[in-house]
């Protein structure tokens, strides 16, 4: 799997998402994923599984320096003092000494973006995180974060799949050299059985999920972090490097986007672009 170069970071284009994975299951999936070949693992303070992610990393036997590890700080910890404390707690829970990428999980309108970006710069300078980034930021918030940040922002992690057009946000990220990391990349399984994706998958001898992941990582500066609780699915999701989609395939899948395609919309979400 290729890497995405983004403002000084080198990020594996396919990562292992861990949202909703808990306890021993989480540790086992992380261990299995790393043994299968994943080198990018994504977690978050809000997932409640950082300790288990760390356990899985250690059990895998893969060297820490060979793993790109991301975690995120929850939106109620974005003021300077709580942010630093939360970052320290996350790194301690993971037991990895540092994370490769630390993200703001959701923007919080009650906390100035400049304050949080300042706290992130301090956390990075202290060695707790090698790189910093954002998640669920709109175009205006991306611009504001870049203007306020002392350190380069390397990614904006957003919901992105065939049913959700993220052109505006992707273009804003591209202006600043920021990659896009796609969560819910297979639309929580909705791509399975899709009448447009299935024939494309059949022509390539791949599953609908594999074709969708390929559609994502074949786009410039896009990273995908599928989550699965199935060890068998781990290998399937990783097996997308031996084919390429045509321009026609790419356009057909992009054409599936629709106004009601968003799946994640929490009470504290910003006004989406």
Q: Which residues are annotated as a binding site?
A: 105
Residue 26: HSE in the Cβ half-sphere, 13 Å Cα cutoff: 21
Residue 171: HSE in the Cβ half-sphere, 13 Å Cα cutoff: 6
User: Which residue is associated with the tokens 């993971």?
Assistant: 94
Q: 190-226, pLDDT tens digit by residue?
A: 999 999 999 999 999 999 999 999 999 999 999 999 9
State yes or no: is 47 an active-site residue. Answer: yes
Confidence class of residue 1 from pLDDT cuts 50, 70 and 90? confident
Kindly name the residue from 38, 47, 160, 183 that is annotated as catalytic.
47
Q: Strand pairing partners for 159?
A: 183
- Residue 245 counted as domain residue: yes
- Residue 271 counted as domain residue: no
Q: How many domains does the chain have?
A: 1
- Residue 246 counted as domain residue: yes
Structural domain of 241: 3-254
> Is residue 228 a contact partner of residue 237, using CB atoms and an 8 Å limit?
yes
Angle (deg, nearest 10), helices 197-204 and 247-254: 150
Q: 227-244, pLDDT tens digit by residue?
A: 999 988 999 999 999 999
> Is residue 73 a contact partner of residue 108, using CB atoms and an 8 Å limit?
no
Q: Which residues are annotated as a binding site for substrate?
A: 105
pTM for the whole structure: 0.97
Which CATH number belongs to the domain containing residue 101 in this structure? 3.20.20.100
User: Which residue is associated with the tokens 């977690």?
Assistant: 43
């Amino acid at each position: 799997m290729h890497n995405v170069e983004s403002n000084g970071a080198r990020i594996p284009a396919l990562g292992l998402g861990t949202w909703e994975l808990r306890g021993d299951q989480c540790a086992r999936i992380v261990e299995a994923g790393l043994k299968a070949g994943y080198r990018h693992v994504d977690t978050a303070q809000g997932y409640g599984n950082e300790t288990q992610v760390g356990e899985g990393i250690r059990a895998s036997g893969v060297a820490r320096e060979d793993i790109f590890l991301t975690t995120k700080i929850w939106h109620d910890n974005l003021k300077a003092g709580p942010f630093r404390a939360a970052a320290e707690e996350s790194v301690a829970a993971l037991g990895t000494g540092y994370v490769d990428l630390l993200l703001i999980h959701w923007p919080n309108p009650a906390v100035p973006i400049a304050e949080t970006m300042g706290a992130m710069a301090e956390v990075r300078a202290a060695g707790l995180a090698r790189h910093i980034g954002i998640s669920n930021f709109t175009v205006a918030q991306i611009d504001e974060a870049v203007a306020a940040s002392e350190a380069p922002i390397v990614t904006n992690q957003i919901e992105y799949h065939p049913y959700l057009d993220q052109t505006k946000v992707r273009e804003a990220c591209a202006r600043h050299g920021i990659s896009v990391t796609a969560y819910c990349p297979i639309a929580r399984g909705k791509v399975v059985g899709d009448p447009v994706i299935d024939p494309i998958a059949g022509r390539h001898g791949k599953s609908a999920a594999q074709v969708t992941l390929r559609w994502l990582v074949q786009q410039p500066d896009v990273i995908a972090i599928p989550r699965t609780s199935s060890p068998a699915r781990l290998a399937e999701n990783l097996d997308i490097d031996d084919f390429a989609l045509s321009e026609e395939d790419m356009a057909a899948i992009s054409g599936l986007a629709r106004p009601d395609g968003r799946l994640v919309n929490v009470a504290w979400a910003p006004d989406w672009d």
